[in-house]
């Protein structure tokens, strides 16, 4: 199931390159688990049958906010890729009882959706073998069928699913991973420069100046060149073009976003959320509608969040009947425990339709 998109500020925090132990090209160290809190995997890296699987090993903790944000993403990947031989393992160094309590969520009665393999580290031995003491979490590793680390980074990095799928297909190897790591490092360096340039630009504007962020735009373009599948540079540029009221350039950026992200459901969702953050004058209604319908298509009309987002777009564009139908489909696709809020939104759409009808009949 898709999850709400990120704001521009939040997207900027997603990718951060960090040193890792082991490095890309190294053999995956042993994994030692005290207790499995969900199902145990069929095999672990190094086991006799490990060559049948590609692994995503994530280090996380229940107290870690960014870790909790990555859980739905990993759950989606598990549901999409488990049948291809991808095994996702989440490892926490916490006491098993703490993890069990987190998974059960007794206060709400709603268990956490972690359909992949979740284990408690054994005496911190796995963390010691895989992670540096000062390394942040969440952090993930992709291990290919030969037991070699081919990718490492933040689990929300858009390159990670490509590494997983490529490792399954045999097209993503150590050299590919090292090239991706070098690109990620360069991208992060440019991101820091972009942040500094953006801060200076905003300061100049606050002082009454009317600067043109030429240097900032160059940095953003370099970011897009280094990571052509990354959405954030395009949204950053669109944001600043909006401040300059350069609508022709904005239309060109929107067209590029739509083309580059057309097969990426999560990115498409973020595009729509970004549009809703803009003022009405800065929104692109055609883009919103096309992207929302493309998102519905990619999720085969079965994803609650995608359908609810489509309904919201329909409502935004005055297509109330279509919004009601899409919201009803979202409710039908949702688990019973998640339907209450969706039904309230549906009632809002129906009330809006009734008021529009009444207003149309008034003299």
CA pair distance 360, 36, nearest whole angstrom = 61
CA pair distance 315, 322, nearest whole angstrom = 8
CA pair distance 86, 56, nearest whole angstrom = 7
ω before 124 within 30° of 0 (cis)?
A: no
Q: Residue 4 has what pLDDT?
A: 40
Instruction: Give buried/exposed letters for 100-132 (b at 16+ CB in 10 A, else e).
Output: eebeeeeeeeeebbbebbbbbbeeebbbeebbe
Q: Residue 209 has what pLDDT?
A: 84
137, burial (CB in 10 Å: exposed 0-12, middle 13-18, buried 19+): buried
Q: Residue 163 has what pLDDT?
A: 94
Q: Tell me the pLDDT of the chain (363 aa) as tens digits.
A: 444 444 445 444 444 444 556 899 999 999 999 999 999 999 999 999 999 999 999 999 999 988 888 898 899 899 999 999 999 999 999 999 999 999 987 554 567 889 999 999 999 999 999 998 767 899 999 999 999 999 999 898 888 999 999 999 999 999 999 998 899 889 989 999 999 999 898 888 888 888 888 999 999 999 999 988 888 899 999 999 988 889 899 999 999 999 988 888 878 988 999 999 988 988 999 999 999 999 999 888 888 889 999 999 999 999 999 999 999 999 998 878 789 999 999 999 999 999 988 887 776
Which domains, ranges and CATH numbers included, belong to the chain?
A: 8-172 (3.40.30.10)
List the structure tokens of 192.
Answer: 């820091």
Question: Which one, of 280, 334, 236, 256, lies nearest residue 9 by Cα?
Answer: 236
Question: Which one, of 278, 228, 238, 288, lies nearest residue 258 by Cα?
Answer: 288
DSSP 334: S
């Amino acid at each position: 199931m898709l999850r709400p998109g990120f704001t521009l500020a939040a997207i900027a925090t997603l990718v951060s390159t960090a040193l890792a132990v082991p490095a890309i090209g190294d053999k995956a160290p042993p994994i030692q688990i005290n207790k499995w809190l969900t199902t145990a995997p069929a095999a672990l890296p190094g086991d006799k049958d490990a060559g049948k699987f590609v692994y995503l090993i994530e280090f996380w903790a229940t107290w870690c906010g960014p870790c909790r944000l990555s859980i739905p993403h990993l759950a989606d990947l598990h549901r999409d890729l488990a049948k291809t031989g991808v095994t996702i393992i989440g490892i926490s160094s916490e006491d098993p009882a703490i993890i069990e309590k987190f998974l059960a969520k007794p206060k709400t009665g709603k268990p956490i959706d972690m359909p992949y393999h979740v284990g408690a580290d054994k005496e911190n031995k796995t963390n010691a073998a895989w992670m540096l003491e000062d390394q942040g979490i969440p952090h993930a590793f992709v291990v290919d069928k030969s037991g070699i680390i081919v990718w490492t980074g933040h689990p929300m990095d858009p390159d990670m699913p490509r590494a997983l799928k490529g490792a399954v297909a045999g097209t993503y190897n150590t050299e590919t991973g090292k090239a991706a790591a070098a690109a990620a490092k360069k991208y992060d360096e440019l991101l820091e420069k972009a942040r500094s340039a953006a801060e200076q630009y905003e300061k100049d504007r606050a002082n009454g100046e009317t600067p043109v962020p030429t240097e900032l735009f160059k940095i953003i373009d370099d970011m897009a060149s280094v990571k052509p599948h990354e959405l954030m540079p395009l949204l950053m540029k669109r944001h600043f073009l909006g401040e300059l009221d350069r609508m022709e350039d904005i239309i060109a950026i929107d067209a590029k976003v739509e083309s580059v992200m057309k097969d990426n459901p999560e990115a498409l969702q973020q595009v729509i959320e970004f549009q809703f953050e803009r003022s009405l004058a800065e929104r692109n209604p055609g883009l919103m509608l096309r992207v929302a319908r493309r998102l519905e298509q990619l999720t085969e009309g079965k994803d609650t969040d995608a359908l609810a987002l489509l309904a919201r777009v329909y409502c935004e564009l005055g297509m109330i009947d279509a919004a009601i139908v899409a919201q009803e489909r979202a409710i039908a696709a949702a688990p019973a425990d998640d339907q209450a809020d969706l039904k309230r939104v549906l009632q809002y759409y129906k009330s809006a339709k009734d008021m529009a009808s009444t207003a149309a009949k008034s003299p």
